Amino acid sequence: MIKVLLFFICLIVARNSAQDDSCTTPFNQDGQCISIKFCKEYLELLSKYGPSDYVSTLLRQAHCGWEGQDPFVCCPRVTVKMASTETSERIAFPPSDIAVSQNEINGLPKPPFCGLNQPSKTRIVNGVPAYLGEYPWIVALGYRNSKNPEQPKWLCGGTMITDKHILTAGHCVHNRPDLYLARLGELDLYSDDDGAQPSTSTLSKAKVHEQYNPTSYTNDIAILTLSQPHKNPTVKPICLPLDEPLKSNDFVNYTPLVAGWGALYFNGPSSSTLQTTTLPVVTNERCSRAFINFRTTTIDHRVLCAGYLQGGKDACQGDSGGPLMYSRLENKNFTYYQIGVVSYGFRCAEQGFPGVYTRVTAFVDWIQNNLD
């Protein structure tokens, strides 16, 4: 039975690289990154409930690496108490410590009006699972293609944060008059048989941060405005960390998700299918040491860094502007928050070099002030 469960876990958490270190569980508890075989809490959970949607999502969020063929999970240092009701076999998760007092703040939606997905059809691409509807806020940005005007170049990503605003990186917009399209609700950019229901929108406005520096990539953030609010029912906005405790969280030792259609390796071909992986957040001090010989880089409170020390997984060219996402259990559902915007790195997944992300919490006020 255990072998069957472990095989199932390998399918749903096809990630990479074990981190035998402290971590934070999906319940915001202190945990240790250990083999699933030694985590009594998750094994009991699987044995009792099987591969339900809740358990699958929980294990994906708890995943923190590999050792050989064994998946590692962030195992709580104290027992996680799971309870079921008489009328449902679903797990009763702890209530959120974030109260939903209103639907939005200064034009930005709040849970449960953002950050909820509806994953359905499963696709396995090169061992990395990508689910239709897993990230209904992700956007592919299209640039004019002089060689083939009918086929845009999909060079950057972004996220819907309202029904007409896209959050992306400043370097995807700065001095780029060829940026003109946004593809919403997509999974495979070049297939009509993936089950997705994408829509394409033109852009009416682009706002790059006033202090964006194209040399150092500081303040690497921008907002795009659609010509009209989208009407695609499969597209939902992601939440931003507007409230405490998320607003002041540095997310060190968390393992958020990154997603995009970027290159599969440095200077390699882009992926036609949306790719996703988990990356551990490292301290800015460690990140600064990694980039100490790069004179133009600035690692400060405006960025966060994420990646495995041994490399192997990272965002890459074409992922720029896409989201670094943290999900938390709120009212029995996983709610996704965007904590970073893909900015830059050294090559892709290079050993010793984490990726650098614009820290969203440092720019929440700017974002709210630039929605129109």
pLDDT computed for residue 166 by the predictor: 99
Residues of the chain with CATH 2.40.10.10: 135-226, 257-362
d(CA 58, CA 264): 26
Task: Name the residues annotated as catalytic.
Answer: 171, 220, 320
Angle 186-192-198 from CA coordinates, rounded to 5°: 30
C-alpha distance from residue 192 to each of 53, 189, 196 (Å): 26, 8, 8
Q: Quick count: other Cβ atoms within 10 Å of Cβ 287? A: 22
Q: Please, what CATH class does the domain formed by 22-76 belong to?
A: alpha beta
Residues recorded for the chain = 372
In the block, residue with structure tokens 């974030």: 98
Residue range(s) in the chain whose domain bears CATH number 3.30.1640.30 = 22-76
pLDDT at site 154 = 95
CA dihedral 350, 351, 354, 355 (to 10 degrees): 10
Q: What is the CATH number of domain 257-362?
A: 2.40.10.10
Q: CA-to-CA distance for 229 and 24, rounded, in angstroms?
A: 37
**Other CB atoms within 10 A of residue 365 CB:** 10
* Cα dihedral sign, 324-257-247-306: negative
- The tokens describing 289, both together, are 């040491």
Q: For residue 165, which of 239, 225, 230 has the smallest C-alpha distance? A: 225
Phi and psi based region of residue 119 (left: phi greater than 0; alpha: psi -120 to 50; beta: remaining): beta
- Whole-model pTM above 0.95? no
Amino acid 156 reads C
Whole-number Å distance between alpha carbons of 166 and 158: 6
pLDDT in tens, the chain (372 residues): 334 344 344 434 433 334 447 888 877 788 888 888 888 888 877 766 665 666 777 787 788 877 766 678 888 886 544 433 332 223 333 333 333 334 666 789 999 899 998 754 443 323 254 588 999 999 999 999 999 988 999 999 999 999 999 999 999 999 999 999 999 999 999 899 889 999 999 999 999 999 999 999 999 999 999 999 999 999 999 999 999 999 999 999 898 999 998 765 555 666 788 988 888 999 999 999 999 998 889 999 999 999 987 655 546 555 899 999 999 888 778 899 999 999 998 766 567 789 999 999 999 999 999 998
Q: What CATH code would you report for 135-226?
A: 2.40.10.10
pLDDT on residue 47? 67
